[in-house]
């Protein structure tokens, strides 16, 4: 019964329902010998299905996450925490604004690292768009809630993307006269972040967080059912590959 409920929910909810609809359109078109729309609908269904299953999403993300491992004994004189999105006007226990699902693992990693090393944390993240909220103040408040001393939290609230994270953080680090920064961001985002900080003249020790993949992962039949969460993971990976390509062109 549990397996049946899982199958039905996967097929009736997006993206599964859209895969079925596209297949129905493809079958109807091909039955009427409308080859081009039928083939197009089939290819769209296949692409949507592929991006919505775990083996494909894992393969896409693994190519990004496998490059850097978590250091066994990280050492540094400052932690640089990159922003990853906030819900700017959301109610929270201690104020307004709460970190996104992508940001939370970064915060937890930075807080644990700070408790171990007792070094300052530079939070880098501003307003990406005019209607959005600045990330650094929200992240700084949550770090303090998790036990990081407020005096150890430095906010860099101007940067709007990874390149600006690196550029504006360099000024903060130079003013602090620190030379061994530990860089905390999502595992899939670390490659581009290291490249951006290197371009800005900052050598960092990567401390990736929020891994979604691992070596030797086994799959079961449920991993081949379409899922909105899995589609999101594929989208995150594709967006990062696109950003890496753009960084290579623009850089």
Least confident of 55-64, 129-138, 196-205, 215-224: 129-138
Q: Which residues contact 57 (CB under 8 A, 6 or more apart)?
A: 51, 230, 231, 233, 234, 237
pLDDT digits (tens, 9 = 90+) for 99-155: 999 999 999 999 999 999 999 999 999 998 888 889 999 999 999 999 999 999 999
Instruction: Find out whether 121 and 81 touch, Cβ atoms under 8 Å.
Output: yes
Instruction: Find out whether 32 and 242 touch, Cβ atoms under 8 Å.
Output: no
Distance of alpha carbon 242 from alpha carbon 235, whole angstroms: 10
Distance of alpha carbon 184 from alpha carbon 222, whole angstroms: 32
Q: What is the pLDDT of residue 132?
A: 83
Give me the residues paired with residue 92 across strands: 95
| Token output for 182 | 């530990």
Instruction: Find out whether 19 and 45 touch, Cβ atoms under 8 Å.
Output: yes
Residue with tokens 């970190």: 99
pLDDT digits (tens, 9 = 90+) for 231-244: 999 999 999 999 99
Provide, rounded to the nearest whole percent, the portion of the chain with pLDDT above 70: 99
C-alpha distances in angstroms, 164 versus 128, 156, 195? 11, 10, 12
Task: Please provide the average confidence, as pLDDT, over all residues in the chain.
Answer: 96
The CATH code for residues 78-209 is 3.40.50.620
- Give which of 155, 149, 83 is closest to 117, Cα–Cα: 149
Over range 72-81, report the average pLDDT: 97
Show me where the domains of the chain are located. Answer: 1-53, 78-209
For residue 250, pLDDT over 80 is answered with no
Q: What is the pLDDT of residue 101?
A: 96
**Dihedral sign (CA 67, 70, 54, 236):** negative
- Give which of 106, 44, 43, 97 is closest to 70, Cα–Cα: 106
Say whether 174 sits in a helix, a strand or coil.
helix
Over range 168-176, report the average pLDDT: 97
Q: 56 preceded by cis ω (within 30°)?
A: no
Over range 68-94, report the average pLDDT: 96
- The strand ranges marked E within the chain are 78-82, 86-92, 95-99, 121-124, 153-156, 181-186, 205-209
| Stated pTM of the model | 0.94
Q: What is the pLDDT of residue 203?
A: 97
For residue 251, pLDDT over 70 is answered with no
Q: Which residues contact 105 (CB under 8 A, 6 or more apart)?
A: 186, 209, 210
Give me the residues paired with residue 52 across strands: none
Provide, rounded to the nearest whole percent, the portion of the chain with pLDDT above 90: 94
């Amino acid at each position: 019964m549990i397996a049946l409920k899982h199958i039905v929910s996967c097929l009736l909810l997006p993206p599964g329902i859209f895969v079925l609809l596209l297949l129905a359109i493809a079958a109807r078109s091909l039955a009427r010998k409308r080859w081009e729309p039928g083939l197009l609908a089939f290819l769209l269904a296949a692409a949507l299905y592929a991006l919505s299953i775990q083996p494909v999403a894992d393969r896409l993300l693994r190519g990004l996450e496998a490059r850097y491992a978590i250091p066994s004994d990280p050492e540094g004189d400052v932690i640089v925490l990159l922003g990853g999105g906030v819900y700017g006007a959301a109610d929270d226990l201690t104020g307004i604004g709460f970190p996104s699902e992508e940001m939370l693992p970064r915060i937890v990693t930075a807080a644990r690292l700070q408790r171990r090393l007792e070094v300052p944390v530079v939070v880098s993240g501003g307003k990406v768009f005019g209607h959005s909220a600045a990330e650094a103040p929200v992240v700084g408040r949550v770090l303090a809630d998790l036990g990081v001393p407020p005096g150890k939290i430095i906010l860099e609230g101007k940067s709007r993307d990874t390149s600006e994270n690196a550029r504006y953080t360099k000024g903060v680090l130079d003013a602090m006269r620190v030379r061994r920064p530990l860089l905390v961001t999502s595992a899939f985002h670390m490659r581009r972040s290291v490249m951006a900080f290197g371009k800005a003249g900052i050598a960092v020790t990567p401390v990736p967080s929020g891994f979604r993949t691992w070596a030797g992962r086994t799959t079961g039949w449920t991993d081949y059912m379409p899922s909105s969460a899995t589609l999101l993971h594929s989208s995150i990976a594709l967006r990062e590959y696109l950003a890496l390509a753009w960084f290579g062109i623009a850089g």
